[in-house]
Amino acid sequence: MLELRPNCECCDKDLPPESAEARICTYECTFCADCVDRVLKGVCPNCGGNLVARPIRPAAMLAKHPASTKRVLKAEGCAPRAA
């Protein structure tokens, strides 16, 4: 089950469960579309994987399986992963 993290790890922008702006990698690292496009160039800075649109959990299912409230922010900043 996806955590549906509440913010961009790069800029700390709020990304509620219904946000079409959320992007994730296979480890659920979460970023906003702007950071993915402009800063990260589609590559997760944590694992090097690609970032894709996060699925939107139907509202009826959010009551049963709520989104995470734990905010994650990269203390060292957000830059593309070194090769």
Does residue 57 lie within any of the structural domains?
Answer: yes
The region that residue 77 occupies, defined by phi over 0 for left and psi between -120 and 50 for alpha, beta otherwise, is left
Does residue 26 lie within any of the structural domains?
Answer: yes
Local mean pLDDT, 10-residue blocks, the chain (83 residues): 96 97 97 97 95 96 95 82 58
Contact 71, 10 (CB under 8 A): no
Does residue 51 lie within any of the structural domains?
Answer: yes
Q: What is the pLDDT of residue 80?
A: 64
Q: How many domains does the structure of the chain reveal? A: 1
Report the predicted TM-score, pTM, of the whole model to 2 decimal places: 0.89
Q: What is the pLDDT of residue 31?
A: 98
CATH label of the domain that carries residue 44: 3.30.40
